A and B are shown apart, each in its own frame.
Chain A
Amino acid sequence: MEYSEHLFLVGGIALLLFFFVSYFFQRLKLPSLLAYVFLGIALAGLLTESELNIVDEISRLGILLLFFLLGLHFPLARLINISRRVWSVGVMDIGLNFGVSFLLAYLFGFDLMAALIIGGVAYASSSSITVKMLEESKRLKTPEGEFKLALLIFEDLAAPVLVSFLVGLTTHGVVTASSILIILGKVVLLTLASVLMALHVFSRLDLFVSRYMSRDFIPLFAAAIALIFAGIAEALDLSKLLGAFLAGVVLSETGTSKELEEIIAPVKDLTLPFFFFWFGTTITVGTGIVSPLALAVLLLWAVIGKLIVGFWGGRIYGLTFKSSIRAAFGLVQRGEFSVVIAALAKPFMSVFLGIYIVVTALVGVYLFRRAPALADRLSHWRGR
């Protein structure tokens, strides 16, 4: 265990680097998550396997807490409210981004398996990048912010099903109807169990939590709930982010979301940079792309597909024209989920997929920042 001697030193240097790059990026008015990603790409070769493992562990905690905090803002009634309006958009998202990307890849001559993986990589927008960007740009509470979150939650529900589908294909070469049904059943089970707990257990804990809010054991309680839910979700082969999110939902029934958020947020701020850093280290940059033309077309579709879902879906969801435009330009970034799927691909495709992910992430972040201005311009143009 070579790292154990210098653990604090390495950790300290990492945090210091995070501090510097984040500071400079913010001075340049760029999103700080990009700083961490670039740092990750740059330092990927310098870190040992075991150090990377530690980064991975911390990064999981960070992303988990991000989703836990998000869940705190979605009490059950609100969750039911948005799911009622978002499911049709979610289905459209699967069709356009998974379905069409898969078809395009297949037409470009990739074999069935590779095309399915490309579809999977193209499907989900990055929850972490989107939420972090919404937070940084203070757009979390806008109408389109809610819509984007709703869609991301839908993707987080659908993604594990997709992953298990693809894992089944890559390891056994076949997918049985029963394995898909089992994973669907687990999603339903976890959600139902959370709903029941929220209604019958946590809604009665409001007095307890608010009474002891300032005591030192409440953070333990909140973090324990978050980790346990995420752990259970992971044990069921579901998205741990979904688990953490549900933990937030359940705790929000105590009516103390704001205070809990204040307690947990600092821990998230310490650990979340590791997630984006880790994301950077996973991206394989290199030469020898399999098919540049296919990559270009797929990248183009990666943007267009999400634009359509964002705009059209936004209108279905009930957003105004301008809001829908802003939503459309805020969904292009792909991220952690695509990385998970890309890991299933054969080695010759990793550069191809790596470039796909990093380009969509960068373009996504750029479009995200430009979204309000673009929306203004487009609605002005439409007005004329």
Chain B
Amino acid sequence: MHIIIIGGGDVGQELAKNLFKEGHDAVVVDKNPERVKALNEELDFLIINGNGANLDVLEKAKIKSARMLIAVTESDEVNIIACMIAKTMGVPFVVARVRDPESAGSIDVDTRGLTQKQASLDLIISPEKAVAEEIAKMVHFPGAVEIEYFANGRVMVVAINISDKGESTNRPLEDLPLPIGCIILGIRRSEGEFILPGGEDTIRPGDKVYVAGSSDAMAEATLLLHGEKTRVKRVIILGGGMIGYELASILESSRRSSLITKIIEKSEERCDLLNRKLSKTIVLQGNETELSFFNDEEFAEADLVVAVTGEDRTNIVASVMCQRAGVKKIISEVTRIDYKRIYSALDITQIINPHLITASKILQHTHKENVVSLSLLKDEVAEVMEVVLPESAQVVGKKIADAGFPRGMLVGAIVRDKEVIIPHGGTVFEANDRLIIFALPNVCSRREDFFCRSDEQWSP
């Protein structure tokens, strides 16, 4: 499928790389000549230098044959205009990244202006909101470092860091008393190797373990693997920007009202605004310096600190301070993915990258119709996908053992008539099953062979 990406920044690049892996044909448009030069060396796609909201440039990018346009420049206006042009030119599916929710409407973004339809956008992604949602999941499930929900929340895939405190280490997996309804999908060793484990493999301290299963059983499984129960009562959000605000509003609206949430923000105007908009969160104004984020006194009693100041370096320093103050869990935003290494060196594992999340949200829509959702795992070691099995799919009626899946592809859970099934070799696929599939990158492109109708066109 021919896809045009406007904006070759971090999100655009991430999208391009993934689309390339999946065998799509993409064109990237960026107005910065230097970046175009750099991208030309890195990517095997056509990179056009120009304004993405310009008709000539879009024609050069072969907009008439495009099936999808993704506008992810820094500017909301360019993104929206590019999408409007594309829609008029007959592109079936257009996606815009919109930071400022007042610019255009959407279903999940608060808006008072145009509706999504009036602005002729098929999908609006607000990175800040997406990040806040992602962090909120972690706040509610503090034992895990990554959480994805599937099948309307019935199935979860979580990643858990193994400490030396748990009883789960150095025992063969087949002896592990995992609760019913859970399965270990994969293990990422501390040295970086990723394995799809068998019954005789063991978990070692320092590993990151991916578990799939029903949401009810997951708390128990997390406790078993993580080894200690993390209770979160006091949450501190460093930085009252868009992400901090969105996160606080999500936490305010959640049913777990026993949380004490505090935002530390240095700008007085922003504090005023937050005080005006939030009704349960405690807003603390730090002084005007960067140092105001490093509030030892608050850290000393916090169970969880979220560093979303928008400044990578401030986030890093704040995370280190929190670590020293003994905060049990730290979630830090990293906009420059290169900084990830620093975090691993400092042993701060919970990092969140807005670009990756945005890209992952958009990628969900580049798949065939029956793909309900798709998530990239953080280390990009694998993808987790939810599909609804069509009647004509070639695996329907077959046992898992006979389906001939390549090594690196695993069905983690099946939701059939609201029941969560952890499949084994003898489980037979039925039409309309919801499958949670775990796939390593080398086999990602092959999963359509198994789970989609053979005659199907690319969505949309």
Contact = CB atoms under 8 A, between A and B. Distances in A.
B260 A318 contact: yes
Contacts of A143: 262, 282, 284
Contacts of B272: 73, 75, 255, 257-258
Nearest to B252: A81
B279 interface: yes
A78 B285 contact: no
A258 B285 CA distance: 15
Given A318-B260, A321-B301, A81 B280 contact: yes
Given A255-B272, A318-B282, 12 more contacts: A77-B275, A77-B276, A77-B277, A77-B278, A77-B279, A78-B283, A81-B279, A84-B280, A143-B262, A258-B268, A320-B297, A320-B301
B106 interface: no
B281 A81 contact: yes
27 contacts: A73-B272, A74-B275, A75-B276, A76-B276, A77-B276, A77-B277, A77-B278, A78-B275, A78-B283, A81-B275, A81-B279, A81-B281, A81-B282, A84-B280, A141-B285, A143-B262, A143-B282, A143-B284, A255-B276, A318-B234, A318-B282, A320-B297, A320-B298, A320-B301, A321-B300, A321-B301, A323-B297
Given A75-B272, A318-B262, A80 B300 contact: no
A77 B277 CA distance: 6
A322 interface: yes
Contacts of B300: 320-321
B142 to A, nearest CB: 19
Interface string B271-314: 01001111111111100000000000110110000000000000
Interface residues of A, number: 20
Query: Looking at B262, B269, B297, which has the most chain A CB atoms within 10 Å of its CB?
Result: B297
Interface of A: 73-78, 80-81, 84, 141, 143, 146, 255, 257-258, 318, 320-323
A84 B279 CA distance: 9
Nearest to B276: A75
A173 B211 CA distance: 73
Contacts of A320: 297-298, 300-301
B280 to A, nearest CB: 6
B301 A81 contact: no
Nearest to A140: B285
Contacts of A146: 282
Contacts of B234: 318
Q: Which 7 A-B pairs have the closest CB atoms?
A: A78-B275, A318-B260, A75-B276, A81-B279, A320-B301, A141-B285, A322-B297
Contacts of B298: 320
Nearest to A78: B275
Nearest to A81: B279
Contacts of B280: 81, 84
Contact of A81 (B260, B278, B285): B278
A372 B297 CA distance: 12
A240 B285 CA distance: 29
A76 B278 CA distance: 10
B279 A80 contact: yes
Nearest to B261: A318
Contacts of B284: 143
Contacts of B301: 320-321
Nearest to A146: B282
A77 B298 CA distance: 23
A258 B267 CA distance: 13
B226 to A, nearest CB: 27
A320 B325 CA distance: 14
